[in-house]
Structure 1
Amino acid sequence: MDTQLDDKAPEDLELENSLAESLADLAPDTRTVSEDEFVEVVGGALEAVGGTLLFKMCVQNDGEDQHVAAACVGDGGNRQFLLLTLPAVGGALKVETASRSTNPVAGIAAAYAGLMDVFQTAA
């Protein structure tokens, strides 16, 4: 039994499942995935749930290159942060809430969104 799934709040699971369903037809086959292809897949998934891309990058995690995107769904106090990851060599796109992710990039999502909020207020 996967205890990590058991620890997730129902709304986190619902959001992750909703995104996973929208990705079923969008995920590329197992082959090298370009940054543009990753952005296209992530953009389609976020559009399906009304999400906003915060940032994207390519990082090395456990010895392999990985595309990573941080996104948010909702606004104000209802805003949830997501982390979407895809191995650069292709495979399945992983979607998880930033609060439950073990990926080091997950901690940046809320801070980045807060910084963007401050910039928008100042503008």
Structure 2
Amino acid sequence: MAEQLDEQELENSLAESLAELVPDKGETVTQDAFAEVVDGALEAVGGRLLFKMQVEADGQRQHVAAASVGDGDQRQFLLLTLPVDGGALKVETAAKSTSPAAGIAAAYAGLMDVLQAAA
């Protein structure tokens, strides 16, 4: 239960702190604008960007970014989603997300860890 509370606090904290950076609905969100929002989010929580992309879900184009926060057993994976035509930023832990990108986040982080160790 405490883990879920921590996840919810993390999601809420990010969403609240980024509300000012998110363009209003109807304003097209460029990849650069989305990158600024994601960078602000990750800076606020000491996170690391894993990847970002643009996808179509339910007939709507969206920017999606996956990030990791924390290390080792305490590491959590986040998904940040923002419609290309503006609107609300959705922040959720990958564990609770139904997005296909959520399943990629942990695998991608593992690959990054291996590549970083080899470098």
Aligned length: 117
6, 14, 17: which is aligned to 2:9?
A: 14
CA distance in 1, matches of 2:57, 2:43: 27
What is the TM-score of this pair, normalised by structure 2?
Answer: 0.94
Using the aligned pairs only, state the percent identity: 72
**Matching residue's letter, 1:75:** D
SS state at 1:82 partner? strand
Post-superposition, which runs of at least 4 consecutive aligned residues in structure 1 deviate over 4 A? none
For residues 30-56 of structure 1, what are the alpha-carbon distances to aligned partners after superposition, in whole Å with 9 as ceiling and x for unaligned? 211000000001111111111111100
CA-to-aligned-CA distance 1:19-74 (integer Å, 9 cap, x gap): 11211211112211000000001111111111111100001111111100000111
Residue 97 of structure 1: CA displacement? 0.1
**CA RMSD after TM alignment:** 1.4
- List runs of 5+ in structure 2 lacking aligned partners: none
Question: Hey, what's the Cα distance between the residues in 1 that align with 2:23 and 2:68?
Answer: 22
Corresponding residue for residue 23 of structure 2? 28
Unaligned runs of 5+ in 1: 1-7
Q: Secondary structure of the residue that 1:105 maps to in structure 2?
A: helix
Cα distance in 1, alignment partners of residues 20 and 87 from structure 2: 13
Listed as ranges, the matches of 1:35-114 within 5 Å are: 35-114=31-110
